[in-house]
């Protein structure tokens, strides 16, 4: 079938990738050990990735690699080395968050197709087109977009591919704008080490006010296909191969039909992993997307406990009418009586309720009794959930994989020349000629017609060398016989030459990328440190000497209040919905005409908007994540003349930014937004937090502002704009 939208599945390891392809995935996305937003997944080695790419391409499938974290300056050389290895392996795309990494790929590794990570918070056409202008061929849209917003972007983004999440776990905060884990646990989500603070219980009630339901679009995915979305993405690089395979098959059947095979049902999926689910804001904004009570995997409901009985040996049994076929060793689970995690067990003994004869399995619709472990006798009440089904597991056996059938590595054309004095082999690889020879006295061949086959056999044995034989050319004018051991020796020597050529080419590319540290413009140098304060309309300018005031504004504000801030720099919101972006554009153009000449961009969309409005004096707020020299150079080329350092920076990177030569301001005080979300929390009175609404977003901060240490002699900023009162 000619598929017009790719089904893209997660792969936390090699076996999961195989399971995804076996279940019908058109492509998988996976990470390496470093610079991946799922640092705690098993991830893949370079060798595994090369084998996976070879396997996928042999089956006309694709592999994308996640490189979706921000990169500190001292990690930039390591990032470049990894990009060089990826360039050799040639996956079908690299998913990127850091604009500096994107710049390096574009300038030094153009063979790597750039996909913009959802961490870049692309949520309107302006941002999508800005990414396209930077060389991205695909953009992973923000999860929060509605179908109408996706369709609006799709109609006007030209040949740029759009990718949308359709299933899996949801972050409470906007991707890329969650600082809770970094600020509270020293585990940055933007570096792949999220501590999943939105799943955290708050207060004595053990409630989870920020814990999102899981996304499950189901049949609605067809509407995304009709809207022109290129790739339908399943979340879950931390999930098992069974989870990935079952969810992939579920959507494959929705997209292609069932073809006579038994359907994978929602109930089947729920036996593998289930939270409560939502379509999020697919059909318009909704507030019922948070689940404040359920924790973790529950299962699919199969019945209700009718009674608990004891047999003559004092063992406890639960009786229920099962809506699903069950068998011994399936898992059952029950809601916790105290609001904590569910309790459960595997079925060890089961009997029909009437005969009370032990059985291995029972059909759906049967009254059944199941033995309860002694320590759970008083905890198995209410709804019975099947939390693991052996029948479902049997539908997804581990795929067989023979590495020899899918050789990985660079395709090499080899010329072998035979003469009475010996053999010589050569190949043009990585921009240079690799050549070697073995001296020997060779006799005329008795069967010269077999010589080519013998040479081909010897040079095809490249195994795990990282090379594959392409075209073989044989020069044998004297029709001599070369022993197989001689040919094998020649092949080994040639592989050594290949390695030398590959290493030399890699070193050359790495050196060029490492040396590509553009000097900041001379006009950026500042001799006098600046003191800046940022606030929003309605706040009072604090006492003190301020060299500049930055005022956060939005189309929803009473802009007449700006009269009190003549000469201030105006800062734009971090989230500007696609269907309301026109109002923002009108506001910017009007204020620019009125003489407001200094502005601050929050993302690529607002940076692009300001440039199109003719604004020349633009600063980049910390939400643009300029962590390294390459990112600074990229943002400067887009019009940013000043930068605000992210509160996520460590001391070493702050010092680099201070010495970079770029005009950087450093936060010294801020009520740092821990969560910035489109989603209303389950309740707003959360111990230890202030939760408030700002520009259509829900923001969570600590009641007491944070203070930060800045390097000596730098420009500093106090940011009051995120302060709010408890609602």
The matching CATH number, chosen from 3.30.1490, 1.10.3210, 3.20.20, 1.10.287, for 522-719 is 3.20.20
CA torsion, points 556, 562, 567, 571, in degrees to nearest 10?
Answer: -20
pLDDT at 725 over 70: no
Instruction: Band the pLDDT of 456: cuts 50, 70, 90.
Output: very high
pLDDT at 52: 96
How far is the C-alpha of 86 from the C-alpha of 521, rounded, in Å?
32
User: CA 600 to CA 617: how far, in whole Å?
Assistant: 9
> Do residues 544 and 89 lie in contact, with contact meaning Cβ atoms separated by under 8 Å?
no
Q: Residue 3 pLDDT more than 70?
A: no
Residue range 221-245, pLDDT digits in tens:
999 999 999 999 999 999 999 999 9
- The sheet with strand 675-677 has its strands ordered as 675-677, 697-701, 690-694
Structure tokens at 612: 């199109």
Q: How far apart are CA 377 and CA 650, in angstroms?
A: 51
pLDDT tens sequence across 371-408: 999 999 889 999 999 999 999 999 999 999 988 888 88
Q: Please check whether the two domains, 300-394 and 522-719, share a CATH topology.
A: no
Q: What are phi and psi of 585, to 5 degrees?
A: -60, -45
Taking the model in full, what pTM does it have? 0.94
Q: Which has the closest alpha carbon to 322: 383, 374, 265?
A: 383
Give the pLDDT confidence score for residue 300 in this predicted structure: 97
Least confident of 189-203, 576-590, 625-639, 644-658: 189-203
Q: Strand, helix or coil at 130?
A: helix
Whether the CB-CB separation of 660 and 714 falls below 8 Å is answered with: no
What confidence tier does 727 reach under pLDDT thresholds 50, 70, 90?
very low
6-170+214-264 CATH pick, 3.30.360.10, 3.10.310.10, 3.20.20.70, 3.40.50.970: 3.20.20.70
Altogether, the residues listed in the chain come to a count of 727
Confidence of residue 339 (pLDDT cuts 50, 70, 90): low
Of 35, 14, 31, whose CA–CA distance to 81 is shortest? 35
Per-domain boundaries in the chain: 6-170+214-264, 300-394, 409-514, 522-719
522 pLDDT higher than 90: no
- % pLDDT > 90, the chain: 85
Give the whole-angstrom CA distance, residue 247 versus residue 265: 10
Which pLDDT band, with edges at 50, 70 and 90, does 358 fall under?
Answer: very high
Residue 608 has pLDDT above 80, yes or no: yes
Task: Reply yes or no on whether the pLDDT at 39 is more than 70.
Answer: no
What is the rounded average pLDDT of the residues 527-543?
A: 92
- By CB atoms closer than 10 A (0-12, 13-18, 19+), residue 525 is exposed
| pLDDT of res. 308 | 92
Task: Answer with the residue of higher pLDDT: 302 or 463.
Answer: 302
CATH number of the structural domain 300-394: 2.40.30.10
pLDDT value of position 726: 41
% of the chain with per-residue pLDDT over 70: 98
Mean of the per-residue pLDDT values of the chain: 93
Using 50, 70 and 90 to split pLDDT, how confident is the model at 133? very high
pLDDT at 359: 95
């Amino acid at each position: 079938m000619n598929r017009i939208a790719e089904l893209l599945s997660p792969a936390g390891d090699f076996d999961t990738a195989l399971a995804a392809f076996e279940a019908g995935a058109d492509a998988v996305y996976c990470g390496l050990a470093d610079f991946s937003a799922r640092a705690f997944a098993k991830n893949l080695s370079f060798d595994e990735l090369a084998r996976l790419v070879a396997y996928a391409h042999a089956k006309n499938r694709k592999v994308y690699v996640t490189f979706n974290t921000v990169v500190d300056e001292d990690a930039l050389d390591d990032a470049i080395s990894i990009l060089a290895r990826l360039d050799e392996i040639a996956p079908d795309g690299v998913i990127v968050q850091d604009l500096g990494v994107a710049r390096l790929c574009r300038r030094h590794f153009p063979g790597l197709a750039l996909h913009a990570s959802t961490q870049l918070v692309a949520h309107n056409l302006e941002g999508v087109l800005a990414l396209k202008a930077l060389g991205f061929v695909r953009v992973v849209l923000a999860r929060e977009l509605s179908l109408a917003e996706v369709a609006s972007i799709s109609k006007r983004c030209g040949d740029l591919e759009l990718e949308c999440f359709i299933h899996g776990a949801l972050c409470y905060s906007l991707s890329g704008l969650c600082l809770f884990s970094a600020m509270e646990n020293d585990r940055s989500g933007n570096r792949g080490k999220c501590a999943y603070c939105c799943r955290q219980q708050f207060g004595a009630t053990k409630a989870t006010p920020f814990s999102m339901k899981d996304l499950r679009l189901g049949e609605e995915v067809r509407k995304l296909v009709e809207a022109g979305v290129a790739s339908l993405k399943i979340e879950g690089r931390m999930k098992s191969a069974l989870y990935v395979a079952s969810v992939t098959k579920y959507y494959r059947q929705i997209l292609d039909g069932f073809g006579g095979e038994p359907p994978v049902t929602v109930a089947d999926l729920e036996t593998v992993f289930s939270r409560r689910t939502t379509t999020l804001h697919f059909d318009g904004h909704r507030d019922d997307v948070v689940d404040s009570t359920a924790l973790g995997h529950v299962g699919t409901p199969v019945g209700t406990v009718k009674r608990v009985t004891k047999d003559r040996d004092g063992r406890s049994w639960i009786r229920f009418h099962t809506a699903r076929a069950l068998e011994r060793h399936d898992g059952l689970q029950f809601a916790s009586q105290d609001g904590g995690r569910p309790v459960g067990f595997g079925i060890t003994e089961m009997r029909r309720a009437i005969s009370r004869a032990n059985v291995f399995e029972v059909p759906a619709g049967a009254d059944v009794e199941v033995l309860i472990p002694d320590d759970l006798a008083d905890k198995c009440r209410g709804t019975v959930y099947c939390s693991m089904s052996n029948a479902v597991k049997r539908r997804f056996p581990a795929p067989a994989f023979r590495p020899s059938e899918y050789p990985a590595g660079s395709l090499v054309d080899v010329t072998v020349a035979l003469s009475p004095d010996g053999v010589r082999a050569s190949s043009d690889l990585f921009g240079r000629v690799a050549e070697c020879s073995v001296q020997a006295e060779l006799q005329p061949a008795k069967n010269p017609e077999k010589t080519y086959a013998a040479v081909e056999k010897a040079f095809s044995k490249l195994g795990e060398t990282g090379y594959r034989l392409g075209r073989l050319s044989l020069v044998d004018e004297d029709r001599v016989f070369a022993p197989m051991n001689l040919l094998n020796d020649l092949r080994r020597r040639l592989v050594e030459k290949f390695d030398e050529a590959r290493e030399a080419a890699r070193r050359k590319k790495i050196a060029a990328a490492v040396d590509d540290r553009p000097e900041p413009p001379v006009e950026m140098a500042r001799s006098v440190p600046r003191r800046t304060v940022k606030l929003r309309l309605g706040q009072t300018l604090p006492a003190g000497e301020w060299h500049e005031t930055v005022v956060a504004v939005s189309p929803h504000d009473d802009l007449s209040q700006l009269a009190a801030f003549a000469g201030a720099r105006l800062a734009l919101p971090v989230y500007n919905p696609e269907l309301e972006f026109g109002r923002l554009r009108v506001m910017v153009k009007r204020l620019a005409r009125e003489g407001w000449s200094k502005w601050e961009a929050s993302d690529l969309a607002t940076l692009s908007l300001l440039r199109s409005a003719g604004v020349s004096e633009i600063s980049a707020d910390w939400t643009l994540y300029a962590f390294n020299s390459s990112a600074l150079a990229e943002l400067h080329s887009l019009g940013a003349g000043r930068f605000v350092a992210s509160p996520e920076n460590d001391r070493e990177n702050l010092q680099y930014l201070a010495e970079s030569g770029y005009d950087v301001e450093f936060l010294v005080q801020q009520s740092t937004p821990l969560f910035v979300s489109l989603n209303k929390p389950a309740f707003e009175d959360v111990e230890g937090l202030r939760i408030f609404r700002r520009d259509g977003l829900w923001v969570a901060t600590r009641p007491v502002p944070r203070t930060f240490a800045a390097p000596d002699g730098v420009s500093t900023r106090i940011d009051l704009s995120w302060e709010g009162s408890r609602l």
